Amino acid sequence: MVSLRERVVNAVIRALIKIAFRLEASDLAKLPQAGPGLLVANHTSYLEGPIIYVLIRPRQITAIAKRELWSNPLTRFFMNTWHIIPISRGRVDSIAMQAAQQTLEDGRYLGIAAEGTRSKTGTLGKGHPGATFLATAKNVPIYPVAQWGLADLGENLKRLRRTPLTIRVGAPFHLRKPDNSPITSRDRRKMIDEIMYQLALLMPEELRGHYTDLSQLTTEYLDFRS
């Protein structure tokens, strides 16, 4: 059941989105009404997570976020309101991974930043293979979710202009190794690169960053039959 606090917070954020942005997010309708699934997204600011979260609700969703966000009273308020899973970076956080796996077992969506950190340029950075462990362990579909436009928010607010914000969702797929042999670290590196190229396909060319060269795109580990 959604708490009264979350209902109020979500309503306020939705109102602010309408005021601050010219939003193109019709692709979110492609997401099934129920999970489980991994929403793998690019990470360019602290705002896209809350925006995508409230736009997806009332679908059941949570996300993984760095533990440092719980150190600030304001961000801690939002993290706790939305039951976000804290994760310690730089080491294997078994508690966070267990909570993430439980989220998927419960049939919910789990949001994760594919790059593992925020891009300061707004372009795609090199993907982190952490998402592949959850996808293969629970055999859940991955939905690539790309967004852009937030980099212009500050300047547009100064000029009292609404900011164009685009959110796109790609075709879902499962991860699988073609020969079904044990998955190695090399496999996972290739898996995350293939996931990142699916994000790149959704984005303008100038924002594809590390994945600009689409001639390197492969789908060896992606099963689109989902």
CA dist 112 and 87 (Å) reads: 11
If pLDDT is split at 50, 70 and 90, which confidence band does 127 have?
A: very high
Task: State residue 39 phi and psi, 5-degree precision.
Answer: -95, 105
Terminal Cα distance for the chain, rounded: 29
pLDDT band at 226 (very low <50, low <70, confident <90, very high): low
Q: Which residues are 113's β-sheet partners?
A: 41
- Residue 162: band (very low, low, confident or very high) from pLDDT cuts 50, 70, 90: very high
Position 35 confidence tier, pLDDT thresholds 50, 70, 90:
confident
**Of all residues in the chain, what percent carry a pLDDT higher than 90?**
88
Number of domains in the chain: 1
pLDDT bin (cut points 50, 70, 90) of residue 225 is confident
**Per-residue confidence band for 141, with pLDDT thresholds at 50, 70 and 90:** very high
Encode pLDDT of 171-215 as tens digits: 999 999 999 899 999 999 999 999 999 999 999 999 999 999 999
pLDDT above 70 for 24: yes
The predicted structure's pLDDT at residue 131 = 86
At 48-96, the pLDDT tens digits run 999 999 999 999 999 999 999 999 999 999 999 999 999 998 777 899 9
Enclosing domain of residue 158: 4-223
Is the pLDDT score of 3 beyond 80?
A: yes
Q: How far apart are CA 75 and CA 71, in angstroms?
A: 8
Question: At 164, is the pLDDT very low, low, confident or very high (cuts 50, 70, 90)?
Answer: very high
pLDDT of 34 reads 84
Q: Which amino acid is at 212?
A: T
- Put residue 119 in one of left, alpha, beta given phi > 0 → left and psi -120 to 50 → alpha: beta
Burial zone of 211 (CB within 10 Å; 0-12 exposed, 13-18 middle, 19+ buried): buried
**pTM recorded for the entire structure:** 0.94
Angstrom distances, CA of residue 204 to CA of 51, 55, 97? 20, 22, 32
CATH of residue 8's domain is: 3.40.1130.10
Q: What pLDDT does 91 receive?
A: 79
Per DSSP bridges, beta strands 61-66 and 21-24 are unpaired
